[in-house]
Structure 1
Amino acid sequence: MSTPQTYKPSEGKREEFRKYLEKAGIMDALTKVLVNLYEEVDKPEDALNYIIEKLSLQAGLETHKQLTAKLDEANSSIKQLQDEIEVLKAAAAENEDPETKSVHSVAKSEAAESPAGEEQPVQ
């Protein structure tokens, strides 16, 4: 009767996988969760569920931080664009032809004076 052989990955593959886990931050996250579990005075009945919950919280915090950073960046861009619009409006008002201003003013005042529904020809 022969005993079943167990598969042992080569040392190179193990080392490569370990580096992958470290680079992805998995080793760090697992270590933190396991240390927290070790330091718990009242150990949870379901240790696996404890680990899952803590890892989910860590992932959620990272996502929250990323979204907050994107929101701050978007708000900054919006503010910059609003400032640019104000500058362009001011420049357009300064550069507008005086005759064009008077035509627009007359048209606006005639529109305000005319009864609703009647159109006034613009001269």
Structure 2
Amino acid sequence: MMRFKEEKEAKKEAFRKYLESSGVLDALTKVLVALYEQNEKPSSALEFVQQKLGGPTASEYEKLQADLSDMQAKHNELLHKHEETCKELEELKNLHSSPSTKETQTTDGEASKDDA
């Protein structure tokens, strides 16, 4: 039982050191101090923290979500058009390189030589 507690404490300490070395503790402390020092507390403490950490506001987030949906729809539409164009290109390549087309071109070419 004692070993389990020691392992758990070691994990906590390693995580705390990770947060400290990556600057997370410092950033969170600064944001919480800024919130504490506000004369008029914001209606949403969570939104305040998000903004101070560089995240979008709720309205900005909704707009970004809408933009993302629009871009995904446009992407899917363009992807579909691209696939259709590739199919058309393949069909044209196959039509151009088929043996029956070459014979027709040769025959047509000979006919025009005879006519001249």
Give the TM bin, normalised by the shorter chain. Answer: 0.3 to 0.5
With normalisation by structure 2, the TM-score equals 0.41
Q: Which has the higher contact order (CA 8 A, sep 6+)?
A: 1
Structure having the higher helix fraction is 2
